[in-house]
Amino acid sequence: MNLSERFTDTNIPEHPEKATLEGKNKFVGFWLFLGGETVLFATLFGTYLGLRHMHGTGPTAKELFQLPTVFLATMILLTSSLTSVYAILAMKQNKIRAMQGWFFITLLLGLAFLGLEIYEFNEYVHEGHTFTKSAFSSSFYTLVGFHGGHVLFGCLWLISLLVRNWSRGLNLYNAPKYYLFALYWHFVDVVWVFIFTVVYLMGKVG
Amino acid sequence: MGFYEVMKKWLQKGRLVPLFAMMAFMLMGCGDPTISTLNPQGQVAKDQYSLMVLSIAIMTLVLVVVFLIYIIALFRFRAKKGDDSIPKQVEGNHLAEITWTVIPIILLIILAVPGVYGTFKASAGDKAPKNQIDLKVTAHQFWWEFEYPKEGVVTSQELVLPKNTKVHVELSSQDVLHSFWIPSLAGKTDTNPGDGTKTYTWLETGKTERVYKGKCAELCGASHALMDFKVKVVSESEYKDWLTNMKSATAKSTADTAAGQKVFKQNCMSCHAVGKDGGNTAPNLTGFGDKERIAGILDHNKENLKKWIHDPQKVKPGNNMPKFGGKLSDEDIDAVADYLMSLKLK
Amino acid sequence: MSTIASHKKRSGLMDWLTTVDHKKIGIMYLLGGLFFFLIGGIEALFMRLQLIKPENDMFVGETFNQLLTMHGTTMIFFAAMPILIGFMNCIVPLQIGARDVAFPFLNALGFWMFLFGGIMLNCGWFLGGAADAGWTAYAPLSTTSAGHGVDFYILGLQISGAGTLMGGINFLVTIINMRAPGMTFMRMPLFTWTSFVASLLILFAFPPLTIGLFQLMFERVFDANFFNADNGGNAIIWEHIFWIFGHPEVYILILPVFGIISEVVSTFAKKRLFGYSSMVFATVLIGFLAFMVWVHHMFTVGLGAVPNSIFAVATMAIAVPTGIKIFNWLFTMWGGKMKFTVANVWALSFIPTFVMGGVTGVMLAIPAADYQYHDSYFVVAHFHYVIVGGVVLGVFSGLYYWYPKIFNRKLNEKLGFLNFWLFFIGFHLTFFPQHFLGLLGMPRRVFTYLTGQHWDTMNFISTIGALMMGLGVIVLAVNMLISISSKYKVTSGDPWDGRTLEWAIPTPTPEYNFAQTPLVRGLDPLWVEKSAGNKEMTPAEPVGDIHMPNGSILPLIMSIGFFIAGFGFIYHHWLVAGVGIGIGLICMLLRSVIDDHGFHIHKEEVEADLRGVKA
């Protein structure tokens, strides 16, 4: 089958993302990349854990964090992970419109999450929790900001993916691309679960 | 002849024994007793030295075995001219492979047990035991501040301690990382900035009265190489006298040095202190006339002192003292130098 | 099967700037690495000249600190690593019977990022002073260092580090997915195995460095407080992050060299590698332990007796797998019929030299004794014994060994021996006395010393040795230059009577490496076929069209974009930073939206090539 030939319902492979050597390479390579990303975030978490009580004259985590907003953000991101799962399920059944729809919802949820995060950071800055305030604030913004940067990059990636392939259907060339995006999105989501626990819940408890 | 036969022959003939003896002899008493780790004078350094000797001995044994096999293989298994035959392709040998896994493990255990014991012995808690001299070391770019908190005495660059004494040392830094090292008395400990990362160590002065050399052992800027200090180990009574004199010392002057003192008060005392008066951001100059070195590095004489005051950057690049040549007249610098050289404790 | 007619033949410079061929990228890595090796070497010679006598005043204070920082950084990141990655590029795909690497585009990107990172680091020399806080860049010295030297260090390493990470992932996937039929993991040559483990170490060790460098940058550029004790920061965090990266980093350097030595010693002893399985096991174990021992660089930091002891024991444990390797090499020699080619002499000289570096490593592992060795010249001697006596000797061995495969030329053996003896004797003269300098109390990273401490003679000898090493390197450069002459051309693809797959390929290596993917029937596959009386490998497939990737200029442009962005960050010029990042992102977008299906080399062309070889 030609790389750019549209799948039909009968000839679509069971795992379109791994049907070519290139696809397999991307699949394995991306998993490895996520392994590296895990260490990257682990380093950020380590730094944050080492410095989270060093708030100096700035507000403490307990004073600062508003759990309702963060909980809402968590729900939004978890849901977006679910919608990306639906998108990939649709892809495997060659339901291109359904896949695009689910990915579109994923994108909207991602943007909503980013909006909430910007709102949240803005609030914190007004309470005196600026980037340069203390070791706590620097490590907080770096950790959460790195995650936010990952969400932003994911949104840009998804937009370019959807726009480029809007009317092209699915084929051996673009199926791995959608799949990798979904993998990435799940990873970003998992990192957020850790941020929610380690930064916000532990910050509230003590 | 196989590998095992060769080894057996060498071990039986006891050829390894003299080698060890020779090595231990070679290392003993090596170098200058005021700065060599191989010529330790205090108990802390002696303990560290014995660990070094043990590890060197075991490692020499390893080297001898490896070199022996290597040299034999190198000479015996060369391709002869014209011999195009293929040597036997050996996959491995379980007995041999187990041997060279197990023997190193045993050697490492022999090394690790005293190693870990020594590490625990060398570690100091954050509290000094009673009746022990308590010392606070603060490192600065590029000088050392020594405080005797129980006595309320502060000095710089030259540490004075009684002989046969164990000292509990608390270390920190005012700026970047440094490391406090007196090779003949004790291994090094880093000084870290901030209250949360203070470090603690032991220092034992040994039985000889002598001036030991101390070094900064962590890259700390342009004059890292010049951040030397001295440890004067003196008798118990001398130490007592020194403390008394340090406590009572004031910024006194005679008719000859009154002019110099005036210049000093106007230009230097915002940073430097003499006795209780003056700032604390630069070395305390009490008893300056008795010191071993100027700025820790130059020979102690008036010419060098003038050179230093004239342009400290030329002596110790990157240090924080401003240049006084051009700011003060040559006469004023001369007067200050006279004044400082006159600051003797006795 | 249809083919896509998008294949443009490029020639000359444009071919090199756009290539995604792993063999060409490998050559560029090698030459780039050797270039930085010369720069790092000159910096080393300047330092040794300053220390030739007490109270010398040739390079003092800040200048000396810049030299020592740039020497270390250049040698580790821009000489040793790229040279080894160059070997991996040139050799690993050939050894596993692959036609290409998994991600040719990323491979090219990795190279250009390395090159521009190295240029960025060295820009400091011309723009107000290079980095001066040591290659370890300990905070707060690095965060408060005046001028922009440390900024060049941060951005240079950040850019090249990203490239290295791509290279690591590329080799992992290549080795996992693209082995020829029959090339099982336990039949892979040792160089491929060690490259595999080194790539794993790259994957897990570089991200901490990335974060550490970001933190340094944020602290210098945006006044963050990670390491600033005045605002609650903690400088020791940087030490942890740096060494969590830094210790695996030195194993990233030495592991591929272990592979080279295994290949060379076995080839020239005409014997299969002794204890292959235990060699693989030892490699993996060393790779694992690499992440468990970083605190041994920090024994004097004051973490306490418990952590120090735990990390001491873990460190000593590394001696066991390393010892297994040494003895396996010795017993590969034992019973062999060794030929003393220059490549083999480098490899054989590696063994005792590396053991000497290894035993001082075990000595350093005992914390209480390390309080004396740490940051003294003893440590300088130790790590130069493992990095020069280990990595560099091994790299030179690999260079002489694979030169015919990479450049289709053989290096002159007589000059090779001159190169060897100058370098080898010079090396021991330089670094052996430094053990004793350290034991006699000389701290490292000092620009001068006073006389009367028993240090003068040994420092003098050390400098003379360094000059000899310099001469040796000049001889190597001459040797490489004259090898351009067609006199040194090799015609055989197998000049050493090799054992592994790379020697089954004709010279010069075709663009597609293997006309037909070979069928691997055992360890040392070419040797297996030779022993069975076959002249060449048995093919695993009929001759057919071969799919190849298209070249692209995007990796170069993208790297230039990040290079420009680096200057923006260094000089706090946000527009420039934005433009640079923008160029990078646009290149990524272009790469994503322009379909690139590669092209096919037609069956007829391949058949014609095959006839040409046979004729």
pLDDT classification of B24: cutoffs 50, 70, 90:
low
CATH number at residue C460: 1.20.210.10
| C317·B224 Cβ contact <8 A | no
**Residue C612: CB partners within 8 Å, gap ≥ 6?**
none
Residue C126 CB burial class (10 angstroms; 0-12, 13-18, ≥19):
exposed
**Residue C137: CB partners within 8 Å, gap ≥ 6?**
C69, C131, C150, C153, C154, C216, C238, C242
Total count of domains within chain C: 1
State the residue for tokens 């989501």: A189
Residue B12: predicted pLDDT: 57
> With contacts defined as CB-CB under 8 Å, which chain B residues touch C447?
224-225
d(CA C82, CA C147): 28
Q: What is the pTM of this model?
A: 0.94
**Quick check: C324 and C279 in contact, CB under 8 A?**
yes
| C371·B48 Cβ contact <8 A | yes
Range of the domain at A61: 16-205
Domain presence at residue A4: no
Q: Which of A36-50, A162-176, C99-113, C211-225 shows the lowest mean pLDDT across its residues?
A: A162-176
**Which has the closest alpha carbon to C360: C341, C383, C331?**
C383
**Residue C35: CB partners within 8 Å, gap ≥ 6?**
none
Q: How many residues are present in chain A?
A: 206
Domain presence at residue C540: no
> With contacts defined as CB-CB under 8 Å, which chain B residues touch C351?
66, 70
Q: Considering only CB atoms, which residues of chain C are within 8 Å of chain A?
A: 2, 102-103, 165, 169-170, 172-173, 176-178, 203-204, 206-208, 210-212, 214-215, 218-219, 222-226, 228, 231-234, 237, 240-241, 244, 585, 589, 592-593, 595, 597
| C334 in contact with chain B, both atoms CB, cutoff 8 A | yes
> Best residue in C6, C158, C170, C173 to probe A by mutation, most A CBs within 10 Å?
C173
**Which has the closest alpha carbon to C466: C421, C426, C422, C419?**
C426
pLDDT classification of C405: cutoffs 50, 70, 90:
very high
pLDDT classification of C1: cutoffs 50, 70, 90:
very low
| B116·C365 Cβ contact <8 A | no
Averaged confidence pLDDT in chain A: 94
> Best residue in B6, B175, B177 to probe C by mutation, most C CBs within 10 Å?
B177
Cα dist. C402→B70, C87, C337, C559 in Å?
25, 8, 21, 29
Domain presence at residue C249: yes
pLDDT of residue B29 exceeding 60: no
Domain presence at residue A182: yes
Does the ipTM exceed 0.85?
Answer: yes
**Which has the closest alpha carbon to C508: C493, C530, C523?**
C493
| C597·A35 Cβ contact <8 A | no
Domain presence at residue A11: no
Residue B23: predicted pLDDT: 57
What are the tens digits of pLDDT across the range B210-236? 999 999 999 999 999 999 999 999 999
What are the tens digits of pLDDT across the range C48-101? 999 999 999 999 999 999 999 999 999 999 999 999 999 999 999 999 999 999
**Which has the closest alpha carbon to B41: C441, C549, C391?**
C441
Domain presence at residue C261: yes
Which chains have 3+ CB pairs within 8 A of A?
Answer: C
Range of the domain at C129: 12-530+553-614
Task: Supply φ then ψ for residue B307, to 5 degrees.
Answer: -60, -45
pLDDT of residue C2 exceeding 50: no
pLDDT classification of B14: cutoffs 50, 70, 90:
low
> With contacts defined as CB-CB under 8 Å, which chain C residues touch A157?
592
**Which has the closest alpha carbon to C124: C48, C207, C206, C62?**
C62
Averaged confidence pLDDT in chain C: 95
Give the H/E segment covering residue C600: strand C599-601
| C597·A4 Cβ contact <8 A | yes
The winner for highest mean pLDDT among B195-204, B243-252, C159-168 is C159-168
State the residue for tokens 């006279």: B338
Which structure tokens are listed for B101? 């896994």
Domain presence at residue C605: yes
**Quick check: B142 and B318 in contact, CB under 8 A?**
yes
The winner for highest mean pLDDT among B273-282, C573-582, C589-598 is C573-582
Q: C538 CA to chain A: closest CA distance, Å? A: 23
The arithmetic mean of pLDDT across residues A73-94, rounded, is 96
State the residue for tokens 């590394």: C318
The arithmetic mean of pLDDT across residues C571-587, rounded, is 96
**Which has the closest alpha carbon to C467: C34, C41, C37, C33?**
C41
What are the tens digits of pLDDT across the range B153-173? 999 999 999 999 999 999 999
**Quick check: C488 and C475 in contact, CB under 8 A?**
no
The arithmetic mean of pLDDT across residues C132-157, rounded, is 95
What are the tens digits of pLDDT across the range C414-441? 999 999 999 999 999 999 999 999 999 9
| B78·C340 Cβ contact <8 A | yes
> With contacts defined as CB-CB under 8 Å, which chain C residues touch B51?
366, 368-369
| C471 in contact with chain B, both atoms CB, cutoff 8 A | no
> With contacts defined as CB-CB under 8 Å, which chain B residues touch C450?
297
pLDDT classification of C3: cutoffs 50, 70, 90:
very low
Domain presence at residue A10: no
Partner residue opposite B104 with nearest CB, options C304, C323, C339 = C323
d(CA C113, CA C78): 11
Which amino acid would we find at residue C124?
G
**Residue B326: CB partners within 8 Å, gap ≥ 6?**
none
Which structure tokens are listed for B82? 């014209």
Q: Which residue has the higher pLDDT, B312 or B30?
A: B312
Domain presence at residue C1: no
Domain presence at residue C410: yes
**Quick check: B193 and C228 in contact, CB under 8 A?**
no
β-partners of residue B190 are B179
Chain A to chain C Cβ contacts (< 8 Å): 119
What are the tens digits of pLDDT across the range C253-297? 999 999 999 999 999 999 999 999 999 999 999 999 999 999 999
Which chains have 3+ CB pairs within 8 A of C?
Answer: A, B
pLDDT of residue C372 exceeding 90: yes
Residue B27: predicted pLDDT: 60
Least CA distance to C2: which residue of chain A? A2
pLDDT of residue C245 exceeding 70: yes
Task: Supply φ then ψ for residue A52, to 5 degrees.
Answer: -70, -20
Domain presence at residue A138: yes
pLDDT of residue C4 exceeding 60: no
Question: By percentage, how much of chain B surpasses pLDDT 90?
Answer: 74
Domain presence at residue C299: yes
Which structure tokens are listed for C326? 């040494």
> With contacts defined as CB-CB under 8 Å, which chain C residues touch A166?
none
Cα dist. A29→A88, C21, C175, C212, C448 in Å?
19, 19, 11, 24, 49
Residue B26: predicted pLDDT: 60
Least CA distance to B200: which residue of chain C? C302
Domain presence at residue A2: no
Collapsed DSSP state (helix, strand, coil) of residue C62: helix
Partner residue opposite C177 with nearest CB, options A3, A25, A56 = A25
d(CA B52, CA B30): 13
Total count of domains within chain A: 1
Residue C9: predicted pLDDT: 67
Domain presence at residue C95: yes
Which structure tokens are listed for C47? 């330092």
Task: Supply φ then ψ for residue A45, to 5 degrees.
Answer: -60, -45
Which structure tokens are listed for C597? 């299906």
pLDDT of residue B59 exceeding 80: yes
The arithmetic mean of pLDDT across residues C139-161, rounded, is 95
| A40·C207 Cβ contact <8 A | yes
pLDDT of residue B1 exceeding 50: no
pLDDT of residue B19 exceeding 90: no
Which structure tokens are listed for B211? 């001036």
The 3 state secondary structure assigned to chain B is CCHHHHHHHHHHCCCHHHHHHHHHHHHCCCCCCCCCCCCCCCHHHHHHHHHHHHHHHHHHHHHHHHHHHHHHHHHHCECCCCCCCCCCCCCCCHHHHHHHHHHHHHHHHHHHHHHHHHHHHHCCCCCCCCCCEEEEEEEECCEEEEEECCCCEEEECEEEEECCCEEEEEEEECCCCEEEEECCCEEEEEECECHHHCEEEEEECCCCCEEEEEEECCCCCCCHHHCCEEEEEECHHHHHHHHHHHHHCCCCCCCCCHHHHHHHHHHCCCCCEECCEECCCCCCCCCHHHCCEECCCEECCHHHHHHHHHCHHHHCCCCCCCCCECCECHHHHHHHHHHHHCCCCC
β-partners of residue C376 are C443
Cα dist. B48→B23, B27, C362, C373 in Å?
17, 14, 15, 10
Partner residue opposite B219 with nearest CB, options C60, C134, C276 = C134
Q: C363 CA to chain A: closest CA distance, Å? A: 30
pLDDT of residue C333 exceeding 90: yes
| C521 in contact with chain B, both atoms CB, cutoff 8 A | no
The arithmetic mean of pLDDT across residues C555-574, rounded, is 96
**Quick check: C103 and A30 in contact, CB under 8 A?**
no
> With contacts defined as CB-CB under 8 Å, which chain B residues touch C365?
115
| A173·C102 Cβ contact <8 A | no
